[in-house]
């Protein structure tokens, strides 16, 4: 029997000649004229392989010989299911699985076979088989066999009918191989009829010879990718109508900076179909697709002529199966010319633009927020107010919240007025996310112009790097606003020039950001290596917040979800309290971004809207430990200090604009929401909870009485009496940047008594905000109960939960003798009460509550046509209690 060996990766080589010869012999053996002859020939080949294995000492060859023996013995068993042959196959498998990870591809199938044999001997059910597949994935995911193990296990999970495992495997594929064209093709072949999201990824030569890179070039705006053939008259007519609609004034307004149309011709024309596109009078990007329909990119994303693939501003596209059509005969030149004339109904295509741009994932404020982030605006924005030329934002960021050594300014420095004029070009958030594209474009154009002027007038200024950084940001902003690669190319030139001139320590992030993007545009380089090298240049794990933020954006540029999540976690852990990181860390913590950033952009009926609403209604405490410390004046002339003056355990502060306010149910009314409209029923909820408070913070002066009158309060309270806070400076106050608000008139933050931010919601994620705030309070209740249980104070836990969620007594009556209605419990309260019953060993009561949790979770999941994590956890909890109940019953019977 072979002994385990230690293998160095350098020993892993190509298939050795001896294995090549054995493979040829095996192929010949399978061609025997009868089963008996085939069996005899395969046995002969196996003996040859065994002899070679006994005499061979080269590590790589030994494992490849074992893998050959495994395949040969498999074929022998298929021909003759003799117990001896099966046993020999298992023995070979046991030796092969001893191979280290360098040989994971060789050992995977042997490992799977041994697992299946073991499960069969145990008489395992579906759950045990699924658990075994999960372990198999864990062992191989980060090896060279990662994709292979996921393909194998996903097929088997579908055969088992284990929906939970299928969903988990699809999530793993999305995180680790989401941009892999081979895996996209595999899923589309396997999951016919289902819809899943994938990033739109590829490097393409443009008709002018330049290279475009997706998703990088498409992030921050929607994209229409057209796959068409000149032989398809239907496609040509569609292109003609789409082009005619795009050229109208309305079409230009809708597309400007919001939607880009790109062309992929499938006929491998020398000019990639540019002459046809230009004949239509549009300047769409025309990209080459080598191989046409044979290109893996086409097989992954299109598959059908004509395809108009919609890509979200996040770079995500929805994949689904569609029926292909027979290829039509080539049309005549006359038919082509006729087809390229727009039809009388070409303006109907304007509706296509409208539908693309009104989706949850493509709404203007969301896309503009992404665009600003991808530009890098936050890297030069100063949340503390007007920029101090001696302490620019980059210098503050490099100090990581510590003392900033000011720059020495003198006659040779760039004049302060010029620096402030350049800085003033930057539209601050949240106004940036609600500006028009012409306004945004003009701001970047002005920034570039002023920077050019400063370069010409003060080329030797010691603080010239401040201007270079803003010039790069301005050019990147124009790249995103105009969909024009030329701006990016100039930005790269400026970044190289800036690096040659030098920077103060830690302030070269913007230039390196631009240069890293340029490196990522080369399809031959390892994107992950470029990003890791960038972070390593700033200290690796000790890198500054801006460096990690840039690394996260670079990961989005190449659809590397795993790296994005890695850097997101690092930022949330250590970099949310520095003012220079407020904008970016708020983006990472925003529930709307969290939902859509990697979500499938697909609407299909009521269930998808419910899924978004369900997610927005969840109130988990945010991952970061952000603290809110601020002093705000009140309308009564006092000062309210946070956290010092907070009295309740949880306080929700709604930010509102003064009246006149929006008329209810009038969608066309663009005025702000009233405080009462935003709060909804939450003030009534707060009245019922002495540990919950609600306040209003006005972003401009208003009528205090009108504000109080707008707020609905429980009938036991005459009027809202809490202090009305004022936010001096409104949207320019640092608290707006601290909380990352993305809406000028709709926002709320909930803090605990110590000032920790439990959740913050702005215009993007304001849907179901009242449910979310109540859920946050309920989860805080659950946390306190569970903490009491953890420290062993069962009585305290019991007292807390029984006050919050007293058990229902079906015999209880009110003062008039009427039966009381069964109360509605929240899931966190039921979960906490279940655990209290478990701690008290009241298993029957625990089971009743656990069953109710499952019913409530199932009802929610069914309403969305998905299986939620909440439902999985509920079933696991119920099953664990059932096991205890069964054990107690068995013990009781034994004692009797």
Q: Does any domain span residue 342?
A: yes
User: Do 143 and 271 have their domain in common?
Assistant: no
Q: Does any domain span residue 784?
A: no
Q: Does any domain span residue 407?
A: no
User: Do 889 and 762 have their domain in common?
Assistant: no
Q: pLDDT below 50 — which residues of the chain?
A: 1-13
Pick from 193, 214, 239: which residue ends a domain? 193
Strands 630-633 and 639-642: antiparallel
**3 state SS of 367:** helix
Distances 598 to 163, 170, 315, 332 between C-alpha atoms, Å: 21, 13, 8, 44
Q: Does any domain span residue 504?
A: yes
d(CA 804, CA 234): 65
Q: Does any domain span residue 785?
A: no
pLDDT at 719: 63
Label residue 120 exposed, middle or buried (CB < 10 Å: 0-12, 13-18, 19+): exposed
Pick from 604, 625, 659: which residue ends a domain? 604
Q: Which of 651, 656, 647 lies closest to 700, judged by CA?
A: 656
d(CA 592, CA 606): 19
In this structure, the dihedral spanned by the alpha carbons of residues 229, 324, 596 and 258, taken in order and rounded to 10 degrees, is 20
Q: Which of 248, 169, 190, 257 lies closest to 218, judged by CA?
A: 257
pLDDT at 589: 95
pLDDT at 325: 65
What residues does 285 pair with on adjacent strands?
262
User: Taking the CB of residue 230, how many other CB atoms lie within 10 A of it?
Assistant: 19
Show the domain range for 579.
365-402+412-604
Distances 799 to 776, 832, 833 between C-alpha atoms, Å: 21, 12, 10
Q: Does any domain span residue 2?
A: no
User: Do 824 and 878 have their domain in common?
Assistant: yes
Kindly provide the residue ranges of all beta strands, DSSP E only, lying in 465-595, ordered along the sequence.
none
Sign of the Cα pseudo-torsion (584, 586, 589, 593, in order): negative
**3 state SS of 225:** strand
User: Radius of gyration of the chain from Cα atoms?
Assistant: 32
User: Do 750 and 650 have their domain in common?
Assistant: yes
CATH of the domain at 85: 1.25.40
User: What total of structural domains would you count in the chain?
Assistant: 5
**3 state SS of 237:** helix
Place of tokens 């680790």: 176
What is the rounded average pLDDT for all residues in the chain? 91
User: Do 466 and 587 have their domain in common?
Assistant: yes
User: Do 209 and 303 have their domain in common?
Assistant: yes
Sign of the Cα pseudo-torsion (126, 128, 133, 138, in order): positive
User: Taking the CB of residue 496, how many other CB atoms lie within 10 A of it?
Assistant: 14
Q: What is the pLDDT of residues 493-551, one digit of tens each?
A: 999 999 999 999 999 999 999 999 999 999 998 999 999 999 999 999 899 999 999 99
Question: 261 near 219, Cβ under 8 Å?
Answer: no
CA 91 to chain centre: 45
Strands 316-319 and 630-633: unpaired
CB-based burial, 744-757: b 16+ in 10 Å, e otherwise: bbbbbbbbbeebbb
Q: What is the pLDDT of residues 312-356, one digit of tens each?
A: 999 999 987 665 666 778 888 898 899 899 999 999 999 999 999
pLDDT at 9: 36
User: Do 288 and 437 have their domain in common?
Assistant: no
Distances 213 to 199, 361, 427, 555, 560 between C-alpha atoms, Å: 12, 21, 27, 13, 14
What residues does 199 pair with on adjacent strands?
316
CB-based burial, 49-72: b 16+ in 10 Å, e otherwise: beebbeeeeebbbbbbbbbbbbbb
Tokens standing for residue 16: 């050795």
User: Do 822 and 886 have their domain in common?
Assistant: yes
User: Do 505 and 564 have their domain in common?
Assistant: yes
Which pairs count as long-range contacts for 862-868, CB under 8 Å and 24+ apart, including other chains? 863/607, 863/610, 864/607, 864/610, 864/611, 864/614, 865/607, 866/607, 866/611, 867/163, 867/164, 867/167, 868/614
Pick from 731, 752, 776: which residue ends a domain? 776
Question: 424 near 446, Cβ under 8 Å?
Answer: no
User: Taking the CB of residue 140, how many other CB atoms lie within 10 A of it?
Assistant: 24
CATH of the domain at 300: 3.40.30.10
Between helix 35-55 and helix 59-79 the angle, nearest 10°, is 160
pLDDT at 730: 94
User: Do 322 and 420 have their domain in common?
Assistant: no
Q: What is the pLDDT of residues 168-216, one digit of tens each?
A: 999 999 999 999 999 999 999 998 778 889 999 999 999 999 999 999 9
Q: Which DSSP category does 201 fall into?
A: -
d(CA 770, CA 777): 11
Helix runs in 385-428, H state only:
393-399, 416-424
One DSSP character per residue, 857-871 reads HHHHHHHHTS--HHH
d(CA 749, CA 757): 7
**3 state SS of 281:** coil
In this structure, the dihedral spanned by the alpha carbons of residues 500, 505, 511 and 514, taken in order and rounded to 10 degrees, is 130
Label residue 457 exposed, middle or buried (CB < 10 Å: 0-12, 13-18, 19+): exposed
Sheet of strand 650-656, all strands in order from the earlier edge strand to the far edge: 724-726, 692-698, 650-656, 747-752, 757-761
User: Do 133 and 217 have their domain in common?
Assistant: no
pLDDT at 284: 97
What residues does 819 pair with on adjacent strands?
813
Question: 289 near 203, Cβ under 8 Å?
Answer: no
In this structure, the dihedral spanned by the alpha carbons of residues 139, 141, 143 and 144, taken in order and rounded to 10 degrees, is 130
Q: Does any domain span residue 783?
A: no
What residues does 725 pair with on adjacent strands?
634, 697
d(CA 717, CA 714): 6
**CA 463-468-471 angle, 5° bins:** 140
Q: Does any domain span residue 3?
A: no
Place of tokens 């000149």: 230
User: Do 646 and 765 have their domain in common?
Assistant: yes
- The full length of the chain comes to 896
């Amino acid at each position: 029997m072979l002994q385990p060996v230690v293998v160095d990766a350098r020993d892993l080589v190509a298939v050795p000649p001896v294995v090549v010869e054995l493979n040829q012999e095996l192929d010949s053996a399978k061609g025997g004229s009868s089963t008996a002859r085939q069996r005899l020939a395969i046995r002969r080949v196996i003996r040859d392989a065994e002899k070679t294995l006994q005499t061979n000492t080269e590590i790589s060859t030994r494992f490849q010989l074992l893998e050959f023996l495994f395949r040969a013995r498999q074929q022998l068993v298929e021909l003759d299911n003799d117990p001896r042959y099966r046993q020999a196959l298992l023995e070979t498998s046991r030796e092969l699985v001893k191979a280290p990870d360098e040989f994971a591809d060789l050992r995977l199938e042997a490992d799977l076979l041994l697992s299946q044999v073991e499960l069969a001997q145990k008489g395992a059910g579906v759950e045990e088989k699924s658990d075994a597949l999960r372990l198999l994935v864990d062992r191989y995911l980060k090896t060279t066999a990662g994709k292979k193990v996921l393909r194998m296990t996903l097929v088997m999970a579908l055969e088992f009918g284990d929906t939970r495992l299928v969903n988990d495997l699809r999530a793993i594929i999305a995180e680790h191989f989401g941009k892999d064209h081979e895996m996209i093709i595999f899923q589309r072949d396997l999951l016919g009829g289902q819809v899943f999201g994938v990033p739109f990824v590829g490097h393409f030569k443009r008709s002018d010879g330049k290279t475009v890179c997706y998703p990088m070039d498409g992030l921050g705006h929607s994209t229409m990718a057209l796959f068409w053939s000149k032989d398809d008259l239907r496609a040509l007519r569609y292109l003609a109508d789409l082009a005619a609609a795009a050229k109208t004034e309305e079409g230009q307004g809708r597309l400007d900076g919001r939607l880009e149309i790109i062309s992929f011709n499938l006929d491998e024309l020398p000019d990639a179909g540019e002459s046809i596109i230009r004949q239509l009078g549009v300047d769409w990007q025309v990209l080459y697709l080598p191989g046409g329909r044979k290109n893996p990119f086409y097989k992954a994303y299109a598959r059908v002529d004509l395809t108009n693939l919609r890509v979200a501003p996040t770079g995500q596209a929805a994949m689904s199966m569609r029926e292909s059509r027979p290829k039509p005969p080539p049309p005549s030149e006359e038919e082509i010319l006729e087809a390229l004339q727009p039809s009388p109904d070409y303006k109907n295509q304007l509706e296509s633009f409208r539908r693309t741009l009104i989706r949850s994932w493509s709404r203007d404020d969301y896309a503009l927020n992404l665009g600003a982030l991808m530009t890098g605006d936050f890297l030069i924005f100063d949340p503390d107010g007007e920029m101090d030329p001696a302490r620019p934002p980059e210098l503050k960021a490099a100090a990581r919240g510590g003392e900033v050594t000011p720059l020495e300014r003198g006659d040779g420095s760039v004049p302060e007025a010029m620096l402030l004029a350049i800085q003033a070009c930057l539209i601050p958030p949240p106004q940036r996310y609600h500006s028009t594209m012409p306004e945004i474009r003009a701001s970047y154009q002005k920034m570039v112009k002023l920077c050019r002027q400063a370069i010409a007038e003060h080329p030797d200024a010691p603080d010239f790097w401040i201007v270079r950084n803003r010039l790069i940001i301005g050019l990147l902003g124009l790249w995103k606003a105009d969909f024009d690669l030329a701006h990016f190319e100039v930005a790269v030139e400026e970044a190289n020039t800036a690096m040659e001139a030098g920077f103060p320590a830690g302030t070269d992030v913007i230039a390196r950001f631009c240069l890293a993007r340029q490196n990522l545009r080369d399809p031959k380089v390892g994107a992950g290596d470029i990003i890791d090298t960038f972070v390593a240049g700033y200290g690796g794990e000790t890198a500054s917040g801006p460096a990690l933020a840039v690394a996260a954006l670079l990961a989005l540029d190449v659809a590397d979800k795993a790296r994005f999540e890695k850097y997101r976690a690092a930022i949330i852990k250590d970099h949310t309290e520095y003012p220079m990181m407020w904008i970016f860390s708020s983006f990472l913590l925003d529930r709307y971004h969290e939902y859509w950033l990697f979500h499938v952009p697909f609407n299909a009926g009521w269930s998808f809207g419910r899924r978004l609403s369900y997610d927005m209604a969840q109130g988990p405490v945010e991952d970061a430990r952000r603290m809110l410390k601020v002093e705000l004046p009140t309308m009564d002339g006092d000062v309210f200090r946070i956290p010092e003056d907070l009295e309740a355990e949880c306080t929700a502060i709604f930010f509102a604009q003064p009246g006149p306010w929006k008329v209810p149910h009038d969608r066309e009314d663009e005025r702000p929401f009233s405080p009462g409209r935003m709060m909804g029923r939450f003030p009534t909820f707060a009245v019922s909870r002495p540990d919950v408070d609600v306040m209003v913070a006005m972003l401009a002066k208003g009528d205090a009485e009108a504000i109080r009158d707008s707020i609905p309060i429980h009938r036991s309270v005459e009027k809202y009496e809490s202090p009305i806070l004022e936010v001096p400076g409104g949207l320019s106050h640092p608290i707006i940047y601290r909380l990352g608000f993305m809406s000028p008139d709709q926002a709320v933050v909930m803090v605990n008594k110590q000032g920790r931010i439990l959740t913050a919601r702005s215009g993007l994620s304001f849907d179901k905000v009242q449910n979310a705030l109540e859920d946050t309070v309920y989860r805080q209740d659950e946390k306190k109960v569970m903490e009491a249980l953890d420290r062993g104070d069962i009585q305290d836990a019991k007292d807390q939960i029984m006050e919050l969620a007293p058990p229902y007594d079906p015999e209880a009556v009110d003062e008039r003798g009427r039966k009381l209605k069964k109360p509605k419990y929240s899931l966190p309260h039921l979960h906490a009460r279940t655990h209290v019953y478990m701690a008290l060993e009241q298993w029957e009561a625990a089971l009743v509550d656990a069953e109710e949790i499952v019913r409530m979770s199932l009802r929610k999941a069914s309403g969305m046509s998905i299986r939620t994590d909440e439902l999985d956890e509920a079933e696991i909890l119920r099953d664990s209690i059932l096991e205890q109940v069964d054990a107690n019953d068995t013990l009781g019977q034994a004692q009797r």
